Structure 1
Amino acid sequence: MEAGRLNQRVTFQAHVLIETDMGGVIEGWEDRFTPWAHVRYLRGSEAVMQARLVSKAPVIITVRQSAQSVGITSEWRAVVGGVIFDLKEDPRPSEDGGFFEMLGEG
């Protein structure tokens, strides 16, 4: 992966529970960081075609390895241009080792 291909901003969000003054709990999403990323939409396989039938778009999101990106888990989500992608796996190192790749579904 070349750094020039990291052409989109992706906001990673973590699920949080916030306690209110009244003792209740509010669930929500909190922005963690917004790196440059490459988003590749998957096409062609049988699983991808099935996902499209239920209006889901599987993607591979690639980000540079950093102290922040090491903390990404499959419990987070990614927001790309207003579209929310649930992360379906923990990030895995790319073949060249300088990036993380993760499967998302929006």
Structure 2
Amino acid sequence: MMQAGRLNKKVKFYSNAGDVSDHGNWVDGRALRCTLWANVREQLGKEKLEAGILESKHRATIRVRRSALSEEIETGDTAQLGEQDWKILSIAPVGDRGDDLDILCETAGAG
């Protein structure tokens, strides 16, 4: 189990929900699932040229304590740290007893 002092960032987790408008159009939306204390490890970005556009991907691993709230987080949801949104790519239990969850996220931007 991770020491409480290492859980030093507040991260909001959103489900990517949507709905159909009165006019029959899909409207993107999201709903707050939970806010958890986490340990965030950012990785250096990778740049590549794709279709003539320089694309930069930035990844992070967010570690949270396993709980009823964190068990609701799903792949494809959004994690928000400060003003930055991260797409959740995968979730894996870690530790000897699976007491924590590692959540792999990615953000992408063209530059």
Please confirm whether the aligned pair reaches a TM-score higher than 0.5, indicating the same fold. Answer: yes
What secondary structure sits across from 2:74 in the alignment?
A: coil
Deviation at 1:67, TM superposition (A): 0.6
1-side partners of 2:92 and 2:72: how far apart? 12
- Per-residue CA distance 1:5-25 (angstroms, 9 max, x = gap): 110011101111224345543
So what's the TM-score if we normalise by structure 1? 0.81
So what's the TM-score if we normalise by structure 2? 0.78
Corresponding residue number in structure 1 for 2:76:
75
Task: Give the gaps of 5 or more residues in structure 1.
Answer: 44-50
2-side partners of 1:41 and 1:23: how far apart? 40
Q: Which amino acid aligns with 1:95?
A: G
Identity between Structure 1 and Structure 2 (%): 34
Corresponding residue number in structure 2 for 1:92:
92
What secondary structure sits across from 1:34 in the alignment?
A: strand
Q: Is the contact made by 2:33 and 2:73 (CA closer than 8 Å) also made in structure 1?
A: no
Count of aligned pairs: 98
2-side partners of 1:81 and 1:56: how far apart? 18
Corresponding residue number in structure 2 for 1:46:
none
What secondary structure sits across from 2:60 in the alignment?
A: strand
Task: Give the gaps of 5 or more residues in structure 2.
Answer: 48-54
Deviation at 1:28, TM superposition (A): 1.4
Between Structure 1 and Structure 2, the one with more strand by share is 2
Deviation at 1:74, TM superposition (A): 1.1
Q: 1:52 pairs with 46, 53, 78, which one?
A: 46
2-side partners of 1:8 and 1:103: how far apart? 16
- Per-residue CA distance 1:25-83 (angstroms, 9 max, x = gap): 3121211111111110124xxxxxxx421322111100111111112111101000111
